[in-house]
């Protein structure tokens, strides 16, 4: 069964450094998402991406964050200058298209980001 | 998307059915009821979804009341591996994002 994959599984970085989190969505999916979950808290929406542009973003997704689909298979989240409070699990998700019963998002296993 | 209300936690004995309730009294006609679960810190896992009719798949059954104001997720024979946080979400089919609440923490006990 196809699945969303994410790399790395764990990333440790120093405060102020740039990090890139990578995701490979399910191959025939058209919508891509990033969510994050700070330890002990809810899963929070960050951004959605469709047709090579951001569809929607949350207040969390400020200028420090960017997303890109650099080729036909990868979807990345870049944090330009990491802060301690960026430490969290980051989940990538994808879905095939909107409408009817096919509107199901599938999530990857996550990348644990630790900012020191 | 409609707000959903779930109990914060539930217990279930291994081998018994786990019935997880969800209230979504403000759900609109084009919103589906979706269930996901999250085992420890893993990515949310899709379980099942429905609009009006009851649904069943290899993981669970979903019972939606006739007025669509509430639903119940049923795990027919819970195992220890079903211990997780279960999220009930009312989702517009055109919506781009999924809003997660606190969910129900299900403890399956031996």
In the numeric block, the tokens 């989240």 are attached to A77
Provide the pLDDT for residue A45. 94
What gap in Å lies between CA B105 and CA A84, rounded to an integer?
A: 28
Put simply, the answer to whether B46 touches A105 (Cβ < 8 Å) is: yes
What is the dihedral angle through the alpha carbons of B66, B72, B74, B79, rounded to the nearest 10 degrees?
180
- At A28-83, the pLDDT tens digits run 898 999 999 999 999 999 999 988 999 999 999 999 999 999 888 899 999 999 99
What gap in Å lies between CA A52 and CA A47, rounded to an integer?
A: 13
Query: Chain B contacts of A42, Cβ < 8 Å?
Result: 100-102
Buried b (16+ CB within 10 A) or exposed e, A68-92: ebeeeeebebebeebeeebbbbbbb
Q: Let me know: does B108 contact B18? Beta carbons within 8 Å.
A: yes
Provide the pLDDT for residue B92. 76
**Strand blocks (E) in chain A:** 5-7, 10-13, 19-24, 31-37, 44-50, 53-57, 65-68, 75-79, 88-95, 106-107, 111-115
Distances (CA, A) of B89 to A68, A107, B86: 28, 15, 10
- At A5-17, the pLDDT tens digits run 999 999 999 999 9
Radius of gyration in angstroms for the set of CA atoms belonging to chain A, rounded to a whole number: 14
Provide the pLDDT for residue A58. 94
SS3 assignment, position A4: coil
Residue A12, number of CB atoms within 10 A of its CB: 12
Provide the pLDDT for residue B1. 64
The nearest alpha carbon in chain A to B30 belongs to A100
Q: Let me know: does B86 contact B108? Beta carbons within 8 Å.
A: no
- At B27-85, the pLDDT tens digits run 988 888 999 999 988 999 999 999 998 999 999 999 999 999 999 999 999 999 999 99
Partner residue facing A55 (CB), from B44, B51, B96:
B96
Helices (DSSP H) in A1-116: which residue ranges? none
Partner residue facing A48 (CB), from B45, B96, B102:
B96
In sequence order, the 6+-apart residues with CB closer than 8 A to the CB of B26 are: B2, B3
Q: Let me know: does A90 contact A35? Beta carbons within 8 Å.
A: yes
């Amino acid at each position: 069964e196809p699945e969303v994959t994410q790399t790395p599984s764990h990333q440790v970085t120093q405060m102020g450094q740039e990090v890139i989190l990578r995701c490979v969505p399910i191959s025939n999916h058209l919508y891509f998402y990033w969510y994050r979950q700070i330890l002990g808290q809810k899963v929070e929406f960050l951004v959605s991406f469709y047709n090579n542009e951001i569809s929607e973003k949350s207040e969390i997704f400020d200028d420090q964050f960017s997303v890109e689909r650099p080729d036909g298979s990868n979807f990345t989240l870049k944090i330009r200058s990491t802060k301690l409070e960026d430490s969290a699990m980051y989940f990538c998700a994808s879905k095939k298209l909107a409408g009817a019963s096919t509107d199901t998002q599938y999530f990857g296993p996550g990348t644990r980001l630790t900012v020191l | 998307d409609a707000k959903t209300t779930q109990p914060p936690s539930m217990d279930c004995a291994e081998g018994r059915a786990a019935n997880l309730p969800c209230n979504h009294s403000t759900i609109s006609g084009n919103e589906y009821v979706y269930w996901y679960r999250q085992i420890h810190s893993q990515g949310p896992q899709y379980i099942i979804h429905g609009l009006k009719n009851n649904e069943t798949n290899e993981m669970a059954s979903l019972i939606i009341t006739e007025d669509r104001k509430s639903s119940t997720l049923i795990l027919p024979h819970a195992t220890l591996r079903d211990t997780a946080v279960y999220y009930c979400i009312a989702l517009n089919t055109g919506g781009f994002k999924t809003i997660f609440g606190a969910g129900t923490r299900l403890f399956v006990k031996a």
